[in-house]
Amino acid sequence: MGTARAFRDAAPPDLPPRRRPGAFPSRRLASRLCAASVALFILTGDDSTADAAAPACWGEDEVVAIAGPADPLSLRLADGRTVRLADIRLAGPPEEAMATLAATAGKAAIFRPVRAADPRDRYGRLQGDVVVKDTTGGLRDRLIGTGLALVDPTVMSVACLDESFAAERRAEQTAKGVWSGRSPAVSAKASELLDHVGESVLVEGTVLTIGQSTKTIYLNFGAEWRTDFTAMIDRDGQSKWAEAPATLEGARVRIRGVLEAWNGGLIKVEHPAQIERLDAFARLR
């Protein structure tokens, strides 16, 4: 599955049409290159795929000293600034994530800001990743890989999230953290789906049909939009997508985002990485 954070209004701007199958054509040490997969709308499940033109996902590296955790997903630096680990959300017990970050207190590290004109969020926190001295991976993927956080696509590009999704996949396959018990994903057909309204959720199901209106594309997970779960994509944001959402018809997918109380439940898809194809374990681009 936030930037691309889901809106909070109770209803979408226009209503979907009757269910008719549709076809819609559609980052001072060194610069770091993220491992990325081929820039296609559909990413295959082959982790060995490499992209010779991998994007630069981060801004300039900065040597920093960590004072300690500010919250389960943020670090306070010795100079008083706060770093919010980008594009992740809490999934496990907050005290466990806090303990992971607390273990870095007093250590030297590299701060990597997201590549943006202004890497700060609306609260003034720097967004990015922190790599503790003498370790090889960032704290973002450490939390994800231990099942204490989930990927939350927001400010980073699709390809720059590849390593994070791979960490999440490993946590799921090895039953770490939130993946150790009942899956955090909810079925699109589950009667308790609407119990999660207002929460960031993972919803899994099969796209029955693709609906269209003037401004919107709808991924329909049932025959009746008034009672079944729907995912909505704004046509204005389609420049982020390399292929048409129509390729999803009949696919089993996992959609992440904030669940809204509209009919049988709605997630607004504002970032292509909010959708994964489960039939190929592939994230949609």
Least Cα distance to 86 among 155, 138, 132, 7 occurs for: 155
Q: Which pLDDT band, with edges at 50, 70 and 90, does 254 fall under?
A: very high
DSSP code, position 158: S
62-156 is classed in which CATH architecture?
Beta Barrel (2.40)
Q: Is the pLDDT of residue 276 over 70?
A: yes
Euclidean distance between the first and the last CA atom of the chain, given in angstroms as a whole number: 12
**Token pair 């919803």 in the structure block, residue:** 203
Distances (CA, A) of 107 to 52, 82, 146: 34, 15, 21
Least Cα distance to 135 among 104, 98, 169, 161 occurs for: 104
The domains spanning 62-156 and 185-283 adopt the same CATH topology: yes
Least Cα distance to 230 among 247, 215, 216, 214 occurs for: 216
Please state the pTM of the whole predicted model: 0.77
Q: Is the pLDDT of residue 281 over 80?
A: no
Quote the pLDDT of residue 3: 36
Q: Is 141 helix (H, G, I), strand (E, B) or coil?
A: helix
- Report d(CA 271, CA 257) in Å as an integer: 10
185-283 is classed in which CATH architecture?
Beta Barrel (2.40)
Give 201-240 pLDDT, tens digit per residue.
999 999 999 998 888 999 999 988 788 999 999 887 666 6
Give 42-65 pLDDT, tens digit per residue.
333 333 333 334 468 999 999 999
Least Cα distance to 278 among 205, 198, 183 occurs for: 205
Domain boundaries, the chain: 62-156, 185-283
The pair of structure tokens assigned to 113 is 């800001």
- Report d(CA 283, CA 202) in Å as an integer: 13
Q: Which residues of 165-200 are buried (b: 16+ CB within 10 A; e: fewer)?
A: bbbbbbbbeeebbbbeeeebbbebebeebeebeeeb
Return the minimum-mean-pLDDT range out of 13-17, 70-74, 186-190, 264-268: 13-17
How many residues comprise the chain?
Answer: 285
Quick one: the chain helix, strand, coil %, rounded to 5? 20, 30, 50
Residue 174: half-sphere exposure toward Cβ, Cα within 13 Å: 12
